[in-house]
Structure 1
Amino acid sequence: MQQGRCGSIPRHMVWNTEVARPAEQFACYREAICQAFMNLTPESPATLRFPAKVETIRLGEGAVNRVFFPEHTVRRSAADIAASRSSCFYLNLELAGRCRMLQGDRDVSLMRGQVGIIDSDRHLTLLHDRGPSLGVVSFWVPTKALRERLPPAFDFEAERVSDDPFVGHLIVETARTLNASVLRMAEGDAVRLFGVLLDLVAVSLSRRGRAGTAEAADFADATWLALRRAIQDRLHRQGLTVAAVAAAVGISERYVHKLFERTGSTFAEYLIDRRLDAAAADLRNPDMAGQDIGAIAFDWGFSDLSHFTRRFKRKFGCPPRDWRRRVD
């Protein structure tokens, strides 16, 4: 993967310390986070056993790392920094427990569901506590990938970006979606969604220097992206409502309708259109040639086959059966 890590690893790797003897578990964990991140110095806890799991999935030049472990402390020292041939930011979504991120004058705590970012080019300390079993999703963000999205000479230390009143909830939703979907998505799609996440983080970090009108525009555009993604993730659900997607994104139902008004459409029309596109793709998929048309329609959220057929013909100019048979 990136230079600066210990060795070369494939796109998806998993380490589990419980396959090792208790006395060797912490050493296995130390080696695993070196492989998944870069040079770090975890401090050995007082207990002998250290049941932990580390998983890394490449995202282009970045990666998503899932780590589950007991309470302990991790440092990145001057020696660790000097031994690394590249740099990054760690963008962390806390899954369980608490992580205190200490860097410079900053002492930032992350609780479950919060997202923070910290710079690998500076000394840092991560204090993982508040529970016997802790977990974090840590996005390995190449320095260049974030810096090119920020104003020139922009500087910051540890920050909790999920607190941002404009885009914080979008950062959390995007991080959760990417973590949940990364292995089901094509790598190219995952990389593009990772880029959206970095765009949102950059908006949050640089927002303090922007005019209020620009902030509002950034918020609306970013929210529209998150809203469409939330709908796409839930296309299969029968009876999907405005309330459900509004809750998923963290906005009001009224604001959902307002965003659709900007496009000249409605939630209902957009939802049906996306479902029709998905059903049309399945009907053309050779692997689904034996699948009943009604089953495909039902799978994409249609509860009435005649309604599905009418809407499909209106959009594509022919009934679903003819669409399946047609050769372009």
Structure 2
Amino acid sequence: MAVVLDTSTSVPDRRLAVWQDIVCDTFVGLDCRSDMDDSFWGAVTQSTIGPVSCTRVDSCAQRVFRTPSRIARASEDYVLVALGNSGVNGVFQDGREAVVSAGQFVIYDTTRPYELRFDEGFSQTIFQMPRKLLHQRIGAFNALTATTFSANRPLERLAYEFLIGLSRTIDQVDPATANRLMDQGLDLIAMVFADRMHQHSHDQSFHRSALLYRLKNYILSHLRDPELSMPRAAAALGISPRYASDLIAAEQTSFRSYVQMQRLERCKRDLADPAHAARHVSDIAFAWGFNDLAHFSRIFKQRFGVAPREWREHPTP
């Protein structure tokens, strides 16, 4: 169920202070400034999809700052994807500036300073997610913060429309379905990032990032195959197994560990999904590429602290 917070019940001279409390509770520690004085107004409507929050923000002219001092006092590691509904937003991070209006979106990172500038009333839909959800799909994407993703590009338009549609659907479907839809949305975002990186393929760092995305995408597309291997994945990309190993080693993991983690996460999801209640634990494990039930049960418990059957009976958020 969506949670709605707004400044309408606050006395006029307290609304900006109340608004700052609202945005800090909704997102991360931020500082808000505005010249609207007593006419300031703002409202947020927030829903959640597992670890991801989806928030519609409607407000007036203001500037929002994520400062070094705020970051130093925080432990959050989030990425925000902000989609423009109306109005114009300036986003400043990592020495870049993006201007975002209706039909466009931008990404920024809570672990580094940023500034948001709104010169007039605006409406945005913001997906806030742990960095790892994107990082596991594409690797580093720091070079794409404060970049305008526009409806002029077909893939970017598709991602925008899908995410906006998802934001309107979250509270009308069951949590398991919402999580699956969110997975599709994250895959689309990763594809958009990879497409932008490909356009900068002359830059070696972009080239490596694009290859890493292709490697991860191959892995995720073949998780159900028990014969998935590093040589097979490398051959599909046209690179050597050693180079593929180096690419994924830069993520502080190995090919085997990454595959195992992704398979476990999907088994965990399916075990908690009522749609799979009639399936045996072994059916789900084997469907995601495991071929030894005892081994699966052991590493599942090592990873999540409970056995697969315990998780199925008592899943926790």
TM-score (norm. length: structure 2): 0.59
Of the candidates 56, 73, 96, which is equivalent to residue 63 of structure 2? 73
CA distance in 2, matches of 1:107, 1:16: 29
Distance of aligned partners of 1:97 and 1:187 in 2 relative to their CA distance in 1, 3 Å threshold: same
Distance of aligned partners of 1:84 and 1:164 in 2 relative to their CA distance in 1, 3 Å threshold: farther
Residue aligned with 2:171, SS:
coil
Residue aligned with 1:169, SS:
helix
* 1:88 match: 78
Alpha-carbon distance, 1:154 to partner: 4.4
| Structure 2 residue 163 is the aligned partner of structure 1 residue 175 | yes
Counterparts of residues 1-328 of structure 1 (less than 5 Å):
12-129=2-119, 131=120, 133-151=121-139, 153-156=140-143, 157-162=145-150, 165-210=153-198
Alpha-carbon distance, 1:46 to partner: 4.2
Alpha-carbon distance, 1:58 to partner: 1.2
Query: Contact (CA 8 Å) 2:12, 2:39: kept in 1 or not?
Result: yes
Query: Contact (CA 8 Å) 1:42, 1:72: kept in 2 or not?
Result: yes
Query: Contact (CA 8 Å) 2:103, 2:157: kept in 1 or not?
Result: no
CA distance in 2, matches of 1:208, 1:68: 29
Distance of aligned partners of 1:169 and 1:46 in 2 relative to their CA distance in 1, 3 Å threshold: closer
Identity of aligned residues (%): 24
- Counting matched residue pairs gives 203
Alpha-carbon distance, 1:116 to partner: 1.1
CA distance in 2, matches of 1:124, 1:188: 33
Q: Deviations over 1:195-218 (max 9, x none)?
A: 211111111112245599x99xx9
Query: Contact (CA 8 Å) 2:59, 2:122: kept in 1 or not?
Result: yes
TM-score (norm. length: structure 1): 0.57
CA distance in 1, matches of 2:40, 2:137: 39
Query: Contact (CA 8 Å) 2:36, 2:61: kept in 1 or not?
Result: no
Alpha-carbon distance, 1:60 to partner: 0.6
Query: Contact (CA 8 Å) 1:91, 1:115: kept in 2 or not?
Result: yes
CA distance in 2, matches of 1:82, 1:164: 38
CA distance in 2, matches of 1:44, 1:63: 25
Query: Contact (CA 8 Å) 1:164, 1:204: kept in 2 or not?
Result: no
Q: Deviations over 1:84-128 (max 9, x none)?
A: 212111101111110000112211000112111111111101001
Alpha-carbon distance, 1:135 to partner: 0.8
Alpha-carbon distance, 1:164 to partner: 7.1
CA distance in 1, matches of 2:35, 2:197: 42
Query: Contact (CA 8 Å) 1:59, 1:187: kept in 2 or not?
Result: yes
CA distance in 1, matches of 2:35, 2:51: 33
Query: Contact (CA 8 Å) 1:14, 1:54: kept in 2 or not?
Result: yes
CA distance in 1, matches of 2:37, 2:142: 39
* 1:233 match: none
Distance of aligned partners of 1:167 and 1:69 in 2 relative to their CA distance in 1, 3 Å threshold: same
Of stretches 95-104 and 41-50 in structure 1, the one that deviates more from structure 2 is 41-50
Residue aligned with 1:198, SS:
helix
CA distance in 2, matches of 1:188, 1:128: 36
Distance of aligned partners of 1:207 and 1:53 in 2 relative to their CA distance in 1, 3 Å threshold: same
CA distance in 2, matches of 1:163, 1:125: 23
Distance of aligned partners of 1:140 and 1:67 in 2 relative to their CA distance in 1, 3 Å threshold: same
Residue identity in the other structure for 2:170: V
Residue identity in the other structure for 1:79: S
Q: Which runs of 4+ in 1 moved over 3 A?
A: 208-212
Residue aligned with 2:83, SS:
strand
Q: Structure 2: 5+ residue runs without aligned partners?
A: 202-209, 218-317
CA distance in 1, matches of 2:46, 2:172: 15
RMSD value, Cα: 2.5
Query: Contact (CA 8 Å) 2:107, 2:146: kept in 1 or not?
Result: yes
* 1:315 match: none
Query: Contact (CA 8 Å) 1:161, 1:201: kept in 2 or not?
Result: no
